[in-house]
């Protein structure tokens, strides 16, 4: 079964959120609009709305990620849901219990939603294909495949800074495109939102073979790739790529592809700098850029809560009205 068949309910609303691929522009805009309606919640004295009161959400993380798990937990609690965090390394799966057995046992506890992070591509789709009909699955990152909520919080951040017309924007994604589930999800989202020019910038060893088919322009020179860019999204360079001989050294990568204030002169003066975090300072960018006035990296983290609130509430309340 394809992702879109699983993700969309009979009413056209969101049932699961597994990947950006297979969704439509209208649904992406609805997620962004719903997230916008939640941004004021964090400014209230009591940072809660009762939308998911009485619901139980399980964070099922087979792969560590403090930032993603924390924002999902905060988002669920601000929707008034009960939250259970499962430490997989100490669970029965570490003793040989199968993934499906673990799911069945959790289902028996009458949970309503699983937020899944897994090192294997397709894990969230597999779980969604086998879960009880009343349970929704949110993909919090699976292997090299997809990280849809990260892409949506990035789109939300871009829309808040640059406005709703993506058609006039030039967006450059810089870094390890080949191994990045974030980049794949970002590219799908940017194209669905009809972004004027989507670019990927990386060494040849870190660009996928079929990249043009993704609807992007490919650059191997940083200055050319970010020329007149409105938004630059940096990707985290993982240290294991160095061990795999895909890059000669972190120092050489920084010299060629690390973003500095001097290199940013090629982009537009009001360019917005983004990064999914955590940053490798002195590798992907220097601290002057990361902490500078054009960086919205901390805003991305804040927006992640509103976007995850939107996705969870939409999956649990399909086609219901967004909150006031």
pLDDT in tens, 142-183: 988 899 999 999 999 999 999 999 999 999 999 999 889 999
In the predicted structure, residue 27 carries a pLDDT above the cut 60: yes
Q: Are 30 and 84 found together in one domain?
A: yes
User: Could you tell me the pLDDT band of residue 210, with boundaries at 50, 70 and 90?
Assistant: confident
| 322 falls within a domain | no
| 40 falls within a domain | yes
Q: Are 308 and 209 found together in one domain?
A: no
Q: Are 59 and 117 found together in one domain?
A: yes
Query: Among residues of the chain, what percentage have pLDDT more than 70?
Result: 91
C-alpha–C-alpha distance, residues 12 and 165, integer Å:
25
pLDDT of residue 1: 46
Q: Are 242 and 217 found together in one domain?
A: yes
CB 266, CB 226: distance < 8 Å: yes
Q: Are 98 and 173 found together in one domain?
A: no
Query: Among residues of the chain, what percentage have pLDDT more than 90?
Result: 63
Q: Are 39 and 154 found together in one domain?
A: no
pLDDT of residue 253: 87
Q: Are 175 and 113 found together in one domain?
A: no
Instruction: Render 176-243 in DSSP notation, one character per residue.
Output: --TT-HHHHHHHHHHHHTT-SEEEEE--GGGS-TTGGGGT-EEESSHHHHTTT-SEEEE-PPPHHHHH
State mean pLDDT over 120-131. Answer: 90
- Average pLDDT of the chain to the nearest whole number: 88
CB 23, CB 6: distance < 8 Å: no
Q: Are 25 and 139 found together in one domain?
A: yes
| 89 falls within a domain | yes
State mean pLDDT over 212-224. Answer: 93
| 232 falls within a domain | yes
The number of folded domains in the chain is: 2
Q: Are 307 and 229 found together in one domain?
A: no
In order of 51, 151, 244, the CA distances from 253 in angstroms are 46, 24, 14
Q: Are 26 and 113 found together in one domain?
A: yes
Beta-strand runs (E) in the chain: 56-61, 82-87, 113-118, 136-142, 170-174, 197-201, 217-219, 231-234, 272-274
| 321 falls within a domain | no
State mean pLDDT over 202-209. Answer: 90
Instruction: List, for residues 262-284, the tens digit of each pLDDT value.
Output: 999 999 999 999 999 888 899 89
| 76 falls within a domain | yes
Whether the bond into 59 is cis, omega within 30 of 0: no
CB 171, CB 231: distance < 8 Å: yes
Instruction: List, for residues 288-310, the tens digit of each pLDDT value.
Output: 999 999 999 999 999 999 999 99
pLDDT of residue 321: 40
CB 60, CB 54: distance < 8 Å: no
Of residues 122, 155, 153, 116, the one with CA closest to residue 135 = 116
Answer left, alpha or beta for residue 154, where phi above 0 means left and psi between -120 and 50 means alpha.
alpha
State mean pLDDT over 256-266. Answer: 96
Q: Are 168 and 286 found together in one domain?
A: yes
CB 140, CB 116: distance < 8 Å: yes
First to last CA, the chain: 36
C-alpha–C-alpha distance, residues 124 and 26, integer Å:
23
C-alpha–C-alpha distance, residues 195 and 187, integer Å:
10
Residue 311 structure tokens: 């996705």
Q: Are 252 and 274 found together in one domain?
A: yes
In the predicted structure, residue 245 carries a pLDDT above the cut 60: no
| 323 falls within a domain | no
State mean pLDDT over 102-122. Answer: 89
Expressed as residue numbers, the domain containing 171 is 148-296
Instruction: List, for residues 40-79, the tens digit of each pLDDT value.
Output: 887 777 789 999 999 999 999 888 778 889 999 999 999 9
Give the domain CATH number at 173. Answer: 3.40.50.1370
């Amino acid at each position: 079964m394809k992702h879109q068949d699983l993700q969309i309910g009979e009413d056209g609303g969101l049932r699961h959120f597994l990947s950006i691929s297979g969704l439509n522009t209208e649904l992406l805009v609805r997620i962004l609009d719903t997230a916008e309606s939640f941004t004021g919640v964090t400014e209230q004295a009591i940072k809660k709305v009762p939308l998911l009161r009485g619901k139980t959400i399980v964070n099922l993380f087979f792969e560590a990620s403090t930032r993603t798990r924390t924002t999902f937990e905060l988002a669920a609690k601000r929707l008034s849901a009960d939250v259970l965090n499962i430490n997989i390394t100490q669970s029965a799966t570490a003793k040989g219990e199968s993934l499906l057995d673990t799911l069945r046992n959790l289902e028996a506890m009458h949970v309503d939603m699983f937020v899944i992070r897994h090192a294997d591509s397709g894990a969230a789709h597999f779980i969604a294909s086998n879960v009880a009909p009343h349970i929704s699955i949110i993909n919090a990152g699976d292997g090299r495949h997809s990280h849809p909520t990260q892409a949506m919080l990035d789109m939300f951040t871009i829309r808040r800074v640059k406005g709703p017309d993506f058609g006039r924007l030039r967006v450059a994604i810089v870094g390890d495109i080949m191994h990045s589930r974030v980049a794949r999800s970002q590219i799908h989202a940017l194209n669905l939102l009809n972004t004027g020019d989507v670019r990927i910038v990386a060494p040849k060893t870190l660009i996928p073979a079929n990249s043009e088919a993704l609807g992007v322009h490919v650059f191997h020179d940083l200055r050319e790739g970010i020329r007149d860019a409105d938004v630059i999204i940096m990707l985290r360079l993982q240290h294991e790529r160095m061990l795999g001989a895909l890059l000669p050294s972190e120092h050489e990568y920084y010299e060629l592809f690390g973003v500095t204030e001097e290199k940013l002169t090629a982009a537009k003066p009001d360019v917005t700098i983004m990064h999914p975090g955590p940053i490798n300072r002195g590798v992907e960018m220097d601290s002057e850029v990361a902490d500078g006035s054009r960086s919205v990296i901390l805003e991305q983290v804040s927006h992640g809560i509103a976007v995850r609130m939107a996705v969870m509430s939409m999956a649990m309340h399909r086609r219901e009205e967004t909150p006031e």
